Amino acid sequence: MIINLMKQHKVEFKRIYGASSTIANIVRFDSRHVKKNDVFICIKGENHDGHAFIEDAIAKGASIIVGTDEDLLKSYYRHYEDCTFLVVEDDRLAMAQMAVLLSGEAWKKLVTIAVTGTNGKTTVAAYVRSLLNQLQLPTTSIGTCGIITSKAKLDFLKSTPTTPESADLHALFKQLKSVDEKAVVMETTSIALEQKRTAAMTFDVAIHTNLSPEHLEFHKTMENYKRSKLKLFEQAVCAIVNVDDEGMSRDILDMYKGKVVTYSLKEQSGADLIALNRRTDMHGTRFDLHADGKLYAVHAPIFGDYNVANLLAAIGTAIHLEFDLKAIVDVLGAIESPEGRFEVMEQYGNRKIILDYAHTPAALDQLLVAVNTIPHRRLIVMILGVGIRDFRKMPKMAQTIEGRADEIVVSVDHPGFNDPKTIIEAVCKGFSDRVDNVSSAETRTEGIRLALDLSQEGDIVLLTGGQINGAQFVRGEAIPHSDHAIIQSYFEEKNAEKIQTTIS
């Protein structure tokens, strides 16, 4: 499209060198992906400064270069006068604004829903997508599990594990609108909010789940972490708030001026939505939904109080979007959970294998409570140290599991550039001297196989943590990984061994 930088009011800038009116196709922040007439944004990251790749972008045909170093951009203009150089104050804000402009403000043509919180983002996003699709509003989810539309999973290479960079996000919104999706629900991390990936837009709904220590390797303090998450509620029309969460709910309610829908598991909370009389059976959870002074009987294929809370967040979203509450309740029996979130596998003998992404002490604690509502003989649990996250929380994972499982396997997720042995040692520092049921494995694959080795008929094998976007991050590389494939392979080998033994 042809844009006139002097006449548009979407992109804030300090100075222009070159033509103010030019052709611009799409925003890029990686010079390797630049094509003719693309806009290249010079992002200053932890490891690289995009200004160092200006020449590469120009060589590939970039029509506009956006950066913060005015002297450098001015010097490039002297050599490349057919290219436009835009000087900005904030590179990330400019990237979001430019992405919005070049997408034709596609976000405005969609119902936009953002989910933030330490735990539960993926599950809430999946519940919202599933619920709205059943209510005939075609909805896509964006997050850790990838891009899943109302029809299929998209083959879309995300720039980050959870919340895409703004350049990719708005290109995706434009793509979704072109295939007639009507709504999008996205996981919105604290880091994404801090890095302005969702800047220059307003969400119809912002959902809050909870707040507990996480990402302190990035934010340094809990106050910084909370402040980043609160930014979401400065750009939302409606807030869905978990009033049971002591970490952040009060902060939201105190500062937020828009419409609020509250939810709770506590009868005396006074919340708009309350789940009462919760009870679990083999097929899920039953509860009475208290809303608008009435009770609605709900049965959903979910387990654990924390997932009941997650479901209330989805219900609150649908209510805000003006769907009838009875119509909402009628479809909750078919709600779909995300892959790897309390995913129960029962096809491998008389044992249950449960996959759940729990990777924080708070999430692990809630998960263990939920798992223990299911009858079993012994409980084997694999916990992980996540190499690309805050090492200070690793001993707390051990403290959370101690005394609550018959066998404990300590392994590693996403070692990054760390030695797996160092990660395992960091986790094990949290165990007391009394513990004698702990084994360890240096890779997730080995950890899964060891946990299965320790199990027998009638046991529950709980595998926590998990791959991000089907991969493990090792020394800067995303190594393909599938828990399902590892489990299937393990039992195929065991069956082959049995057959061989019988023949012999």
- Cβ contact 158:469 at 8 Å: yes
288 and 363 fall within a common domain: no
Number of domains in the chain: 3
Average pLDDT over residues 226-255: 97
In a domain, 502, yes or no: no
pLDDT band (50, 70, 90) for residue 470 = confident
Q: In the prediction, which pLDDT does 467 show?
A: 65
User: Using the 8-state DSSP alphabet, how is residue 385 labeled?
Assistant: E
> Could you tell me if residue 429 is inside a domain?
yes
Residues 321-343 have a mean pLDDT of: 95
Reduce the DSSP state of residue 95 to 3 states and report it: helix
pLDDT surpasses 80 at 466: no
| Closest to 348 in 3D by CA, of 464, 490, 470, 451 | 490
Identify whether the C-beta of residue 309 lies closer than 8 Å to the C-beta of residue 265: yes
CATH number at residue 359: 3.90.190.20
CA 22, 27, 28: angle at the middle one, nearest 5? Answer: 125
Cα distance between residue 456 and residue 435, in whole Å: 22
Are residue 427 and residue 476 in the same domain, yes or no? yes
Q: Which domain holds residue 425?
A: 343-497
Examine residue 101 and state whether it is found in any structural domain, yes or no: no
Reported confidence tier of residue 501, pLDDT bands at 50, 70, 90: confident
Give the C-alpha separation, 98 to 426, whole Å: 43
- 403-446 pLDDT, tens per residue? 999 999 999 999 999 999 999 999 999 999 999 999 999 999 99
CB 124 within 8 A of CB 306: no
Which string of DSSP letters, residue by residue, matches 32-78? GG--TT-EEE--B-SS-BGGGGHHHHHHTT-SEEEES-HHHHHHHHH
Instruction: Considering only residues 282 and 67, tell me which one the structure prediction assigns the higher pLDDT.
Output: 67
- The pLDDT score that the predictor gives to residue 468 is 67
Residues 420 and 325 in one domain: no
Query: Residues 415, 421, 424, CA angle at the centre, nearest 5°?
Result: 80
Does any domain span residue 21?
A: yes
* Single residue among 309, 334, 359 that ends a domain in this structure: 334
Q: Are residues 130 and 209 in the same domain?
A: yes
The answer to whether the pTM exceeds 0.85 is yes
For residue 222, is it within any domain?
A: yes
Do 360 and 379 belong together in one domain? yes
CA distance 163 to 97: 17
504: in domain: no
pLDDT in tens, 57-109: 999 999 999 999 999 999 999 999 999 999 999 999 999 999 999 999 999 99
* Cα–Cα dist 358/31, whole Å: 36
pLDDT digits (tens, 9 = 90+) for 102-161: 999 999 999 999 999 999 999 999 999 999 999 999 999 999 889 999 999 998 776 777
What CATH number corresponds to the domain at position 34?
A: 3.40.1390.10
Q: For residue 271, how many other CB atoms are within 10 A of its CB? A: 23
Task: Read off the CATH number of the domain in which 234 is found.
Answer: 3.40.1190.10
Residues 427 and 308 occupy one common structural domain: no
CB 444 within 8 A of CB 359: no
- Phi then psi for residue 43, to 5 deg, are -85, 130
Do the domain assignments include residue 211? yes
One domain, residues 250 and 210: yes
Pair (312, 408) in one structural domain:
no
| Tokens linked to 31 | 């010079």
The predicted structure's pLDDT at residue 469: 67
Shared domain check, 360 and 414: yes
Tell me: do 31 and 87 sit in the same domain. yes
Domain boundary among 92, 124, 143: 92
Q: Which of 280, 307, 334 lies at the terminal end of a domain, its last residue?
A: 334
Based on the domain organization, do 413 and 271 belong to the same domain? Answer: no
Structure confidence at residue 130 (pLDDT): 98
Look at residue 24 in the predicted model and tell me its pLDDT: 97
Average pLDDT rounded to a whole number, residues 300-319: 97
* Alpha-carbon gap, residue 266 to 478, rounded angstroms: 42
- 45: which 2 tokens? 């990251």
Q: Are residues 448 and 472 in the same domain?
A: yes
- Note whether residue 36 is domain-resident: yes
Report pLDDT for 218: 82
**What is the pLDDT averaged over residues 290-313?**
96
pLDDT at 311: 98
- Residues 321, 336: Cα–Cα separation, whole Å: 20
| pLDDT above 90: residue 341 | no
* pLDDT at site 139: 98
Determine the distance from the C-alpha atom of residue 342 to the mean position of all C-alpha atoms in its chain, rounded to a whole number.
16
Which letter does DSSP use for residue 442 in this model? S
